[in-house]
Amino acid sequence: MRLVKMTRRAMLAGTVAGGALAAPFLARAADEPAVEDADRLFADLDARIIAGMQEFAIPGAAVGVFYRGREYLRGYGDTSVQAGTPVDADTRFRIASTSKTFTGASAMRLVEDGRLRLDRRVDDYVTDFIAPPGAQDVTVRRVLNHSAGWLGYDYHDTGSDAGALARYVDDVRKLPQLTPVGTIYAYNNAAISVAGRVIETVTGATFESSVRDLLIDPLGLSRSLFSQSLPGGGNIAMPHDVVDGKPVLVPDYFYLPRSNNPFGGVISTARDQLAYLRFLLSHGRAADGRQVLSAAALREMWSHPGPGGTLFVELRGWGVSWMLRPTAEGITVIQHGGDLPGYHSGFMMVPERRFGITLLTNSEGGPKLLARLFIEDWALRRFAGVRNLPAVPQSLGASELAPYEGTYTAEQIGFTGPPVTLGLQLRAKDGALSMEKIGSGEPPVILPFYKPDYVIDQDNGLRANFLRDPHGSVAWLRLGGRLFRHTG
C-alpha cells in the first residue's frame, strides 16, 4: 500500500511448484545446514541491514527469519531520532499492507467453518452493497485477488466508530470502474476493505474484533493490534521522513483511518511476525499446536491465482491476498509487504526451501533496503537457492518505442478532499524509455524493455509492464501494481 507519496519501492508474493505444499514444511531434513552455515548467513544479513540503514537514513528496523529449523530475531537502531530507545524484537511497527494477509487468513477461517464461500458474490453477504457500474457480480475471491477492477487507491476517512467500514464500503459505488471484473489485476486497497466488510457481516462483529478472534488471539500474537492513533507510551517505532539524506521524525504519519484497517491497519512486532510466519510454514498450526487453519486452506490461499503481471517483480497472479511470485527454478515465492508514510515492511516465504523472512522499518528510506532484500536475488539465493526470472535489457529502435511514449495518469483519493491526479511522462531515449513523474522534480527513471511490454528500472531492478486494449494499442502502464492510463 502506498499513500500520498509516490516512491519506487520494494514491496513485496506463491504456492510451491505444481500447487502442492511441501510436507511437512518444518520437519528436519537431511540437508539441514550446519549451525555455522546458518550463523554465517545471519551475520551476513545483519551486515546488509546495518549498512542499508546507514545508507538510506533508517533509524530503526527489526528482522525475523526462519531458515531450515533455525529462528533468528534481532532489532537494530532506535525507535526515534529524538530520545528513542533501542529497537528489539518486541518493538511495534505498522506493517501496512501485510495487514491484507490477516484479512485473507481470517476469511479462510470462515471458509473452513462453512460460513463463507470465496466464489459467492459480495452482495450475497453484504446485502446492501452496490458496486461501481458493471461490477455488481464481483465475488469475494476477486476482491481478495485484486481483480475487482475499480479504482483501488482510496484512503478516505469515514470516522472512528464501529460503522466506519460500512460507510467506506457504501462509498465504493462512487469509484470509477477501470477494467472489467476478473480480467486484469490492479492493486486494490478499496477492494480489501470490501472483503473486511464481508467478514463483519458474516461474524456480526467489527472487523477488528473478528480478526482478533479468528487469527490474532489463536496465534498468540499478543503484541499485535489495530489502532488509528499513536498508542500512549510503550515500545513503538516512530515514523520518519528523509530530508537532505537524514531521518526526520514525523509523528503525524502514524495516523490511519479506521476504514483502512483491512488493507493496512495492523501494528505488530518482529516476534509476532515470525510466529505468523511459522504458522504459515507449519500447515496452519499455532505455536501451542492448535490447528488454526488446515493445510487445505493454505493451499487454497496460495493457489488458483487471478490475473498476473508485475508488482516490482513478475507475478503469476494473486491467491487469497498473497502474491505468487515465480522463480527461474520453477519454485514459487509467497510474498507480501507494505508501505505507509514512515513505515515500510517485507514478508516473504519459500515453503519448499523451509525459509521465510520478515523485515520492519520506520523510515521513508525503507523501500531501498527492502529492494535489496526482497526484490533483488540476495536473500532468495543465499537462503533458498532460487533466483528471479531473467530480465536482460534490450535496446529498441525509435519506431518500436513510439507506441509507448506519452502521458500516463492515475487517480488517488486521500484522507480528505477530492481525488488527486498523478502523472507520468514517457519518452524514448537511447533505446529505452525515460520516465518522469510530472511535477515531482525527481530525475527521470530509465526503463529498458526486457521482453514485449515488460520493462525494468535499470537502477534497482524493479519491473513494470504495459497492457493493451482489444485493438492492440498501449492502454495502461502497470507501475507498482497501479494502473496508469495512457492518455496521449
Q: Are residues 439 and 321 in the same domain?
A: no
Q: Any idea which of 3-7, 162-166, 169-173, 446-450 has the lowest mean pLDDT?
A: 3-7
Q: What does the pLDDT read at residue 123?
A: 98
Q: Are residues 425 and 349 in the same domain?
A: no
Q: What percent of the chain has pLDDT over 90?
A: 88
Q: What does the pLDDT read at residue 133?
A: 96
Q: Place 35 in a pLDDT band, splitting at 50, 70 and 90.
A: low
CATH of the domain at 262: 3.40.710.10
Quote the CA–CA distance of 192 and 262 in Å, as a whole number.
Answer: 6
Query: Which one of 364, 390, 416 terminates a domain?
Result: 390
CA distances from 82 to 78, 247, 439 (A): 9, 10, 32
Q: Are residues 307 and 438 in the same domain?
A: no
Quote the CA–CA distance of 164 and 335 in Å, as a whole number.
Answer: 29
pLDDT tens digits, 56-109: 999 999 999 999 889 999 999 999 999 889 999 999 999 999 999 999 999 999
Q: Is the pLDDT of residue 29 over 70?
A: no
Section 21-49 average pLDDT:
67
Identify the three-state secondary structure at position 341.
coil
Q: Are residues 434 and 369 in the same domain?
A: no
How big is the CA angle at 281 (ends 109 and 196), to the nearest 5 degrees?
A: 30
Q: Are residues 268 and 147 in the same domain?
A: yes
Q: Are residues 428 and 285 in the same domain?
A: no
CA distances from 212 to 194, 252, 437 (A): 18, 26, 40
Query: Which one of 359, 390, 421 terminates a domain?
Result: 390
Q: What does the pLDDT read at residue 83?
A: 83
Q: For the chain, how big is the Rg over CA atoms in Å?
A: 21
Q: Are residues 271 and 362 in the same domain?
A: yes
Section 292-320 average pLDDT:
95
Q: Are residues 376 and 421 in the same domain?
A: no
Q: Place 478 in a pLDDT band, splitting at 50, 70 and 90.
A: very high
Supply the range of the domain harboring residue 138: 1-390
pLDDT tens digits, 118-146: 999 999 999 999 999 999 999 999 999 99
Q: Are residues 292 and 384 in the same domain?
A: yes
Supply the pTM of this predicted model: 0.93
Q: Give the chain's domain count.
A: 2
Identify the three-state secondary structure at position 124.
helix
Q: What does the pLDDT read at residue 84?
A: 82
Q: Are residues 374 and 404 in the same domain?
A: no
pLDDT tens digits, 236-283: 999 999 999 999 999 999 999 999 999 999 999 999 999 999 999 999
CATH of the domain at 447: 2.40.128
